[in-house]
Structure formats: structure tokens, C-alpha cells
Chain A
Amino acid sequence: MTLTIDRCHDPYIRCAFYGAAQTVLGISGCCTLAHSPQGCHMLVDTAFSWQDEDYTETQTLCTKLCEDEIVYGGENILARTILEAKSLNIPVVFVLSTCGPEIVGDDIVTVCEEIQPKVNFKVIPIECAGFRGSQYDGVDIALDILLKKLTVNDRQKIANSVCLIAPHANANPSWMGDLAWVKNVLSEMGARVVATLTHRTALSEFENVSAAETSIVLSHDAGQKAADYLAKKFGVEQLCRDIPLPIGFTNTQQWLAKLGDVFNAKDIAENLVAKGEKMVVERCRRKWLELYPFHLEPVAIVADATIGVPLFRFVTEELEAIPKLIYLRSSQKTAENILEKELQELNLSPRVAYHTDVYQTKKSLEEVKPQAVFGSEIEKYAVEDLDIPLVFELVNPITSFRIFDREYFGYTGMLNLLEIIQNSYWDQYRSKLRRYKARW
């Protein structure tokens, strides 16, 4: 196992500012104000898309700092821009600071405090400069502020209630499908989701957070700190903390069983598993499961931990492949522990790295020479000259635009994964050559 932070690093992920922007943009009807030069605003635009925001509802502003503001300070322009936002009819402005103003010492917290009485919306500062860490650190920074600023203490616990954490820290490009699946199974078990942190989250949901009995972190890359905070501050019990997220038969069964136990819905959970597994098997039988490409073939997983960790068991058990390399984009202690346990249980010892970069991935793939890589568009191009025949694009970045949210979690999630894998497999072997010309 290696942990890489090179001096010359070709990164897979963005910075803390981006992660914080992703997080606050999950709050419905919000307005973000990047206290930054205008280039950082491009990251807000990307975060906007990641949360599937609607431009008719959500505003993104930027103070567009120039040399003058770096030399003389940008607090005045920040205050002016917040006042300008009065015309937008919004409930909240999240002020996100970036490297420049944080280094020169702009005090966004005081600016926001002083201007709050002059505006009729909430103004919440989040100090999330890029140098503070990765995008996953940014998710944690923003969640921390949101929980401290927006939650209330005195809510009575709601029976069978859940707070979902960090669904957006998931490299499935249509991760909203995963979130929807989770909400659906919780609903079937009679559990009530009182807050989602964050996706299409109403401001009022934060008031319910302390009423939650339980929390579930929907990411192996971020969100653990928020769960720890909720446990400590409001006694919110974290569920499924030490097991992989529900991808594949075993992980899904295990995950649903845990929830069934907690919510007194053991029968429902068992029924969901039985019905789900039957559905997958029957569908694969009828549609024909392509099982030849993987049996005992050496494969690699290059992904975020959220997809990468549970994918390991799916690839090993369901596809009968032999993972020889697992390279993950982050390293959260809980995720590392889960993966270690999984490796032991499945009695496999692939090469593992956390915080990988593109160079390290490419070089290791060159050495390991798997027959297939479960990864992203980056690996597709990185291995072009390495004689690795198959790359399945499962995680971001993927250029293909998707109208529909496709989950990887649960049983339909398994079918979605199989569909991507099978289509890519046959695409690889499509003939580009026409051996003779047709006559018509």
C-alpha cells in the first residue's frame, strides 16, 4: 500500500473551494458568492452542474478580485457585492473565500457579520481556500459550517429518522440515482429522511438535523467528520459506518440488513434483498449476461473510494475477476479500514494506493498490466499505449451527458454497471475496417 503526494502531482480531484461550492450548491434556491478572482468562478460553475442546479433558481456571484484588491484588501468589494444581491430575492448567500483573499487576510466572517443586519437574507461565510485541501476536505469544511450555523439544538428526536450525509461526494456522474435509491429503501423500511446534506436541500431541513436519530454517510471520501459531529453534538447514531456502500449482491445485502435491524424492518430488508437479487438474476438470464470477459482475468479499479471500495467485492464476487490494483483518489481513515477488511475477507492482495495521481496510476497500470480497468475517461486515454484492451468508464470524468440519473447502488445499480461494462466490451471489438465495398 502506498500513499502518494508528489512534488509534481497530476491530480484527479479539485481543491477545497470546489468541494465547498459543491456542498452549498446543494441547498435549494441558494446564492453563492465566490470571494475570488474570476477564474475560481469556473469551479463554481462546475460545482453547479455537479449538483444538477437550475439556473432559473440558483445564482452564482463573484467579486472578481484584481490586483488592487489583493494589495489593498477586498473586503469593501465583498460588502458591496453582498448588498447588490439584495435584488435577487434569495434566502441565503454563501460567501466562499479562495486562496487570494485568505492569504492577504480578508476577514470574510466579520464582513458577513457586519452586513447581515442590512440585508433580508442569511449571509454565511465559509473559509475554504484551495490550499486548505482537496475537494473532499472542502466538502467537510462546508458541512461543518452549515451544521454549526444552520442547525438548532432543541428538536425532539423523530422516530426512525435519518440524516443523509455527503451524497454528492461520489464520482458516479449521476450520483443522484444512488441517493434516490437510498431514500427509496429507507422509505420502504418506514424510516424518514429528515435532512440530506446536501442535494436539493431546503434551508428548513437543517432545523431537523438535530431531530435525527441516525445518520448515514453516503460517501467513503467525505462526510465522516459531519457524522462524528452529529453524533457528539446531538447524539445522532451513525449507521453502516464500517461496511462498504451497497454495490453488488453482498454489499447491498449487508447494508440493507443493517438498516433493517435498526429500523425494525428485518423482514422488509430481507424481502428487498430477495426481490432485488431475483430481479437481477432473471434480468441477466433473459437479457443474457456476458460473463466471459472477466473470469479470473486480472483487472484494476481506479476510482474515488465511494465507488472504488465497494466495487472491489462486486468485481471479485459477481464478475469473478481478480483485482490486481486498486488506486483511490482520496484517503479517509474509515474507508482505508473498510478496504483492508475487504482485502482480508476476499483473500486478495492487489496493489493499493490512496491519493493517487495520473502519473502514478499510469505507471502502475503499465507494470501490473491488467486486462481491464474500471475507471474513468482519464484511464481510457492514459492507457492507450499500454496494451490494456478494456477500460470501463464508470466514474467521473465521463464526457457522455446523461439525462437520467443512473444509480450504481442496489440492484438496478448492478444492472446499470453491467450495462456500461457490456456495452464498452462490445464497443472495443467493433470493426472499424470494411474488407470490401458493398454494391448498392
Chain B
Amino acid sequence: MDNDYIAFHGTLQQLLEKVERGEVIPKLQASHAPPCKFWTAFMVINGIRHTAPLIHGPTGCTYSVANAYKMRSCEYRGVPLEPTTCTALDETNVVYGGEGKLIEAVKEADKKYHPDLIVILSCCCSGIIGDDVETIARETESIVNARVIAIRSEGFGGDFRSGYEDAFRAIMQLMEPPKEKMKETINILGARIGPTYTEWTMDLEEVERLVHAIGVKINAVIAGGCTVEQIRRAPEVELNASWCYDWGQKIGDLMEEKYGIPYSRTGQPYGLRATEEWIMGVAKPLGLEKRAEKVIEEETKQVRHEVGYLRQIFNGKTAIVEITEFPGPIRALSLARMAEEFGAHPIVMNIHPYTIKERMPSIKFLLEQGQNPEVVLTKGLFSLGTFQSSRETEDELERIAAEYDNAIYLGNPERYPNIPVVNLTVQTGYPQYGYQGIRNIARLIKSATENASRPRSRLFRQVLYGN
């Protein structure tokens, strides 16, 4: 491969080692910023019903997360509008402290909203001035009806990942030691974003369908529309599973450590093999292998045409999976694994070293599972300026695609590298998980291969890349 635009070319394992040795800087450029830990902590607790988030800070952080997540849930997920409150800290509070105001705010939130749970989230202001949100949560819990917990989520305190993890850790406080076991019942872990299921509702619905098909019940999807009562009883299940290993891993590990609940460590169920692993990962610890095998056999039979088609299409091809814009690193690695299962040689393009650092435990888990795809990072990935970076990586993708006779691109239609482009971003293409996912992906690939020679829309190209 011509290397004037290549920043790294090797395997995922080699990239991980480089990051660990500090040979590549695992920081995003100044023009690229994911949310801070406040946003991601909020995303998790927003998935618990009848919760009053109480942000100990100014209105900017508060309205922004309310607008981004609450309103979306109302618009698209059929949930009622619930409060997103704050102490509206001002200059005086910053100088003299805001603890008194926070105590009053907890009482007021309880009185106004009658929530099951009040979650105090600190932000930069309250974090720096040293307001002790955890003690206030403990002390106010005895004087209000709701449960009260606190998350130290000041934006500077960590990256987006630490917000998820700290929020899941805080949720653990709502759990009580098991009094009994709920037979053949599991929790699904790692959901976030909304009072209904996580960002791709349909993927989770497919997972639930498969769980129910083998006769297993679900106590709670944590935190995707669960109640405080479901969380309280979460340690009574026999097993935890995740909708995405990456997001479920922290709370799965914590619950295993504290309550001895086994956690099914499986990747995302893309393709036949990963789906089988996911189902058996739930069935085996519960002693339900036979039922699960039957379900797998029946479901596999029903998608045999699609599987045959996928094998025919992928066989001998190079599958370029690019994650700069979509679908996110863990999903990209899952797609790469699926492409390999069906006979392709996957190349994962532009998985940023930042992602490797942030998702280190999950990346290591996937490597242990034998997923070690070829990885290419291009120079455009590191360009300052989001548009600049996007335009450069498009050009670089086109150059990479041109080097293969028989390539297929799995990603999003913002890219158009003169090879079949499989549009994995279309809402009607979900779920991508499980057997229904195999059907959907086969449909998307069929459209991509049958229409591969169609030209890029001039409108789209000029809007996206200015040329």
C-alpha cells in the first residue's frame, strides 16, 4: 500500500501495543471533542424512570442534556416529559459555596416531582469549589421520600467513558443484597440514553426476543427504561448479559464482584457465530443449552437464504469497515468479525488511538476472543478541523479502496469510495443484531452491490466535501 497518507498499518494488537507504549498520542485533536463525563453520566441515569436529575451547576449543562436526551425520548420513544433540574449556580454561589442551596434543592425536587430517585450530578463549578455532593446525598436521603445518590461528574474529571462507568457504579448503591433468586431471569446491562431502550432500540428488541425464545425472563435493562425497584432487585437474577460488551462490562464486573452474579462476556451479536455465542452465553450458565440449541437451529434455518447470500457476496472480498463517522469502534470490530465469518478479509480503517485508550478493557477482551483485524489509520484522521479531517479521510478512503479489486465498504453513505457502499446508518436497516439483523444486513448489502456503479449525488458530495 502506497504509504504517503498512511499513519499506521498493522493489526489491532499492534496498534494497542503502540498506544500502550506511548508511541501514538491517544488524544483527539482540538477540533474533535466527544461529550464530557457529565453528559455521559446523565445519559445513564436518564434511563431510569421517575428520576429527578439535579445538576449542581449553571443552566447551560442542564438545558443542553435535557434538550438532547429528554426531548428526543418524548419525540421518538414514547415517554412522558420528566424533569431535568439544576441549582442554577451563579457567581455568588461560586464564591460562597452552593451546598446550602443544594440541600434545599433536593427537598424541593422531592416535593415538586415525587420522584423515586434524585440523582445529584456535580459539574465543573461545584466540583472545583468543593461542594460535597456525596455527603449531601447521604444526609438528605433521610429527610426526603426519594432515594438520593450523587455522581461526581464534573466535566474536567474524566473522559466520556468515565461518566458511564461512574454512573453505573453509582447505580450499584440502589441494589440490595438478594433475598431470593429469580429463576431463569437475567438483567441486560449497558443500556443508556433514554427512558426507553438504548440508542438502537431495535437491536435491544432483537436481543430480548432471543432471550424470551429460550424461555428466559428479563428483570431489568440497566439503564434503559428500568425502574428503581428493578434495580433494587437486580442482584436476585441468575445472570447478567449485555447488549454491548463494552458498555455492560463495568457494571457486569462490579455486580459479579459484589454479588457473585456471573456476567456473560460476549461481543455484539453480529452474524451467525456471534449471535450463537451470545445466546449460548446466556443459556449455558442457566443450564438451558438444549432449548437454546433448538432456537438457534430454527432461527438459522429461517435465515439460510440470507446467510448463503452473505457468504457468496463476502467470499474472497476485502471488507473495509470505517468508523470515523459511524458505526463506532466496537460495532466496527463486530462488523469486521461478521465479514470475516462470511469469507471476507476485513480491514478496519481509522480507529483512533483515543478510542483504543478509552476502550482498552473491551479492546483487550476482543483480542482475547481472537479478533485481531488489520487496521489502517490515515493521516487525515489526525488533521485539525473537522471538515478538513473528514475531507481528507474521504480522499484517503477512495485511494485505499482503489488498491483492491474486489472490495466492499461497510459504513455510512457520507462516504463514496467507488466500491459498493453498505449503508449501515439507515433506521430501516435495524436491528443489525441477531437473526433479524442478518436479514437486514443482507438486504442492505444486496442494494449496495446491485447499485455499486451508480454515481454519487453531486448534491451530497458538494454538501459533504465542498467539491
Residue positions of A touching B, CB distance < 8 A: 5-18, 33, 36-43, 46, 55-56, 59-67, 69-70, 81, 84-85, 87-88, 98-100, 103-104, 130-135, 358-359, 377-378, 381-382, 384-385, 397, 399
Contact = CB atoms under 8 A, between A and B. Distances in A.
Interface in B80-123: 80-81, 83-91, 93-94, 101, 104-106, 108-109, 112-113, 123
B62 interface: yes
A353 to B, nearest CB: 16
The size class of the interface chain B forms with chain A is 35 or more
B64 A384 contact: no
A38 B34 contact: yes
A14, A37, A63 interface centre (most CB from chain B within 10 Å): A37
A8 B63 contact: no
B39 interface: yes
A56 B466 CA distance: 7
B156 A100 contact: yes
Interface string B27-64: 11011011111110000000000000010011111111
A11, A12, A134, A378 interface centre (most CB from chain B within 10 Å): A11
B387 A56 contact: yes
Contacts of A18: 60, 64
B30 A62 contact: yes
Contacts of A132: 90-91
A381 B74 contact: yes
Contact of B30 (A10, A64, A100): A64
A40 B58 CA distance: 12
Nearest to B91: A131
A69 B36 CA distance: 15
Contacts of A85: 30, 384
B7 interface: no
B386 interface: yes
* A-B residue pairs, 6 tightest by C-beta: A15-B60, A39-B36, A37-B155, A381-B81, A130-B58, A38-B33
A37 B156 contact: yes
Nearest to A59: B385
Interface stretch (B124-132, B200-208, B213-221, B266-274): B124-132
A56, A84, A88 interface centre (most CB from chain B within 10 Å): A56
A67 B157 CA distance: 5
Nearest to B81: A381
A103 B384 contact: no
Given A10-B84, A38-B36, A84-B384, 5 more contacts: A7-B105, A13-B59, A39-B35, A43-B60, A98-B124
B128 A9 contact: no
A377 B106 CA distance: 27
Contacts of B87: 7-9
Given A39-B36, A60-B31, A65-B156, A70 B128 contact: yes
A7 B80 contact: no
23 contacts: A7-B105, A9-B59, A11-B88, A15-B60, A36-B155, A37-B154, A39-B61, A40-B60, A40-B155, A43-B60, A55-B386, A62-B33, A64-B28, A66-B156, A69-B156, A99-B123, A100-B125, A103-B94, A130-B125, A131-B58, A131-B125, A378-B71, A381-B71
B91 A70 contact: no
A131 B123 CA distance: 11
Nearest to B157: A67
Interface in B117-149: 123-125, 128-129
Given A10-B84, A131-B90, A99 B62 contact: no
Nearest to B94: A131
Contacts of A61: 30-31, 384
B28 to A, nearest CB: 7
B447 interface: no
B67 interface: yes
A300 B90 CA distance: 30
B464 to A, nearest CB: 9
B387 A14 contact: no
B319 to A, nearest CB: 29
B31 A37 contact: no
Contacts of B62: 9-11
Nearest to A384: B80
B193 to A, nearest CB: 14
B75 interface: yes
A12 B88 contact: no
Contacts of B386: 55, 60
Contacts of A38: 33-36, 155, 159-160
A60 B30 CA distance: 8
Nearest to A39: B36
A17 B124 CA distance: 13
Contacts of B58: 15-16, 99, 130-131
Given A56-B466, A381-B74, A5 B83 contact: no
Contacts of B64: 14, 18, 42-43, 46
Contact of B35 (A42, A55, A131): A42
Contacts of A134: 59
A201 to B, nearest CB: 21
A39 B88 contact: no
A100 B384 contact: no
B124 A99 contact: yes
B33, B61, B85 interface centre (most CB from chain A within 10 Å): B33
